[in-house]
Amino acid sequence: MTTTTRPEHAPTTTRARRPVPAQIARRIADTPALWRPLVRFDAAARFATRLPAASDDHEVWLLTWLPGQGTEWHDHGGSAGAFATVQGVLTEQHATPDQGGGPAVVVPGARRLVTGGVRPFGPRHVHHVVNADPVGAVSIHVYAPSLTEMTEYTRHGSLLHSSGSQLAGVNW
The predicted pLDDT at position 17 comes to: 62
**Polymer length in residues for the chain:** 172
User: Cβ–Cβ contacts within 10 Å for residue 28, how many?
Assistant: 21
- For the cut 70, the answer to whether the pLDDT of residue 9 exceeds it is no
Closest C-alpha among 124, 112, 39 to residue 81: 124
> Where exactly are the structural domains of the chain?
21-167
* Measured CA distances, 110 to 12, 22, 114, 128 (Å): 29, 20, 13, 10
List, in order, residues 6 or more apart from 152 with CB less than 8 Å away: 72, 73, 74, 162, 163, 164, 165, 166
Report residue 172's pLDDT band, with 50, 70 and 90 as the boundaries: confident
pTM: 0.87
Indicate left, alpha or beta for 91 from its phi (over 0: left) and psi (-120 to 50: alpha): beta
Give the CATH superfamily of 21-167: Jelly Rolls (2.60.120.10)
Tens of pLDDT along 24-71? 999 999 999 999 999 999 999 999 999 997 788 999 999 999 999 999
The predicted pLDDT at position 68 comes to: 98
- For the cut 60, the answer to whether the pLDDT of residue 22 exceeds it is yes
Backbone angles phi, psi at 158, to 5 degrees: -95, 5
139 in Cβ contact with 85 (< 8 Å): yes
Tens of pLDDT along 113-171? 999 999 999 999 999 999 999 999 999 999 999 999 999 999 999 999 999 999 988 88
